[in-house]
Amino acid sequence: MTPSFSFALEHRDGEARAATFSTPHGSVLTPCFMPVGTQATVKTLTPAQLAETGAQMILANTYHLSLQPGATLVAEAGGLHQFMQWPQPILTDSGGFQVFSLAALRTIDDDGVTFREPKSGSLVRFTPEYAVAVQNALGADVIMAFDECPPYPAEREVVERAVVRTLQWAKRCQAAHARTDQALFGIVQGGIHADLRAECATALIALDLPGYAIGGVSVGEPQTLIERVVRVTAPLLPQDKPRYLMGVGTFREMAQAVAAGVDLFDCVLPTRLARHGAALVRDGDQYRRINLKNAAFRRDFTPLDPGCACYTCTRFVRAYLAHLVRTEEILGLTLLSIHNVHTLVAFARRMRTAILRGQFHAEFASYLHPELIQNER
C-alpha cells in the first residue's frame, strides 16, 4: 500500500469482509458499489445528486477520456476530480475491456494493442505505458494496470497467452507509474480456468501492488461460471489489500462475491436500466425490475419503492414517473437513475451492516445458494 492509502479490515463473517479503504480523496466503507461515470459523468446525474444517493466512489473510463476530451485537457483543468466536480474517490479503468469489446477492429501484439476508433476511423495505439500515462494525467485515486481480457468462450491457449501478456504488461505498468497519490491495481485474468487464475494471481501478488481486481468475468459466460471464478480467485488475493470485481453489479453477483471476500464492484446497470424506463424495486427479500412503460403504472399513485428513502421515492409516484418515461422527458431518466443507483449503493451498505453484525450469511441466504457451493466441493 502506498503512503497515501490504507486498508483496514474491521470484521469478517466467513470470507465476507467489512473494511475501510482510505484514499487521498476520502475513505470508502466496503463492501462498496461504484456507479460508472464513463465519460466523467454518471449519466443524467449532477455530482450533488450522485452524492445524495450515498455513492462513495465512482469509476471513469480511460479509453473514452483519452479520446475526448483528452488526458492533457483534464490535467490542465486540475485533474478529474476538479474537472467533473466530484470530490470523493475515483477509479479509472485501463481501457483493457474496451479493447476487448473492439475485437473486430483491433490487433494485439506483445507490446500493446492497435485498433481503429469506431467513430472517427482513426488508428489508436494503447500500450501499458500509454494507459498508465493517461491515468496519471487524469489523476484518479485508483488506476488499473493494462490487461488483455480474453473472450468467452476461448481456447485455453488463447487464455494462456492473455495471462502471459497481462503479467508482462502489469510489470510495465508498475515501472511506468509515476505518482504516489494513485494506487495501481493489478488485474487477475485466466478465463474460467482455476489453475490459470491461480498462476496469474500468484505472479501479480509478487509485484506487491496496492490492490487487486478480478477481471475477465461477465464477458458472456453463464452466471454460475462467473460465481465459480470469483469463489476460486478471491481467496487467493491478499487479505490486507482491497479486492475489486470488475463490471459486476447485480444483487446476486454482488452477494456471491462478497461471500467470497470481494470488497468493490462497478456496473453500468442502474443508469442503463433507467434509460430504458426500468426501475429496481424491492419485493420481500429480493428485488425485481419493473418497466414504467407498462400500462399498469399509468394510474399507480404509490411510490416507486415504498421502502426506499431516495429522493425519487420520497417525492414522486409511479404514475408521474410513467408519464415522464412515456413522454421521453429527461427528468424521468434522472429520477430513475437516482433511484437505481441508490438501490445498489444501499444494497452494498446492507451487506456491510450484516457483516459487522455477523449476520451476513443468514440475512443474504437467498442470494448465496449454498447448495451450489456444497455440490462443487
Can 93 be counted among the known catalytic residues? yes
pLDDT of residue 289: 97
Can 266 be counted among the known catalytic residues? yes
pLDDT of residue 248: 93
pLDDT higher than 80, residue 100? no
Q: Residues of the chain with pLDDT > 70: what percent?
A: 97
Superfamily in which the 6-267 domain is placed by CATH = Queuine tRNA-ribosyltransferase-like (3.20.20.105)
Which tens digit of pLDDT belongs to each residue from 277-321?
A: 999 999 988 999 999 999 999 999 999 999 999 999 999 999 999
pLDDT of residue 375: 36
The three state secondary structure string of the chain is CCCCCEEEEEEEECCEEEEEEEECCEEEEECEEEEECCCCCCCCCCHHHHHHCCCCCEEEEHHHHHHCCCHHHHHHCCCHHHHHCCCCCEEEECCHHHHHHCHHHEEEECCEEEEECCCCCCEEEECHHHHHHHHHHHCCCEEECCCCCCCCCCCHHHHHHHHHHHHHHHHHHHHHCCCCCCEEEEEECCCCCHHHHHHHHHHHHCCCCCEEEECCCCCCCCHHHHHHHHHHHHHHCCCCCCEEECCCCCHHHHHHHHHHCCCEEEECHHHHHHHCCEEEEEECCEEEEEECCCHHHCCCCCECCCCCCCCCCCCCEHHHHHHHHHCCCHHHHHHHHHHHHHHHHHHHHHHHHHHHHCCHHHHCHHHHCHHHHHHHC
Given the residues 13, 263, 266, 305, select the one marked as catalytic.
266
pLDDT band of residue 374 (cuts 50, 70, 90) is very low
Range from 28-32, 99-103, 138-142, 185-189 carrying the lowest mean pLDDT: 99-103
pLDDT higher than 70, residue 376? no
pLDDT of residue 103: 67
Which tens digit of pLDDT belongs to each residue from 38-60?
A: 999 999 999 999 999 999 999 99
pLDDT higher than 60, residue 1? yes
pLDDT higher than 90, residue 271? yes
| Average of per-residue pLDDT across 6-27 | 98
pLDDT higher than 90, residue 372? no
pLDDT higher than 70, residue 373? no
pLDDT band of residue 62 (cuts 50, 70, 90) is very high
Which tens digit of pLDDT belongs to each residue from 309-362?
A: 999 999 999 999 999 999 999 999 999 999 999 999 999 999 999 999 999 999
Model-level pTM greater than 0.75? yes
pLDDT of residue 104: 66
| Average of per-residue pLDDT across 9-16 | 98
pLDDT of residue 101: 72
Q: What is the mean pLDDT of the chain?
A: 94
| Domain segments of the chain as ranges | 6-267, 274-361
Given the residues 13, 93, 141, 305, select the one marked as catalytic.
93
pLDDT higher than 50, residue 154? yes
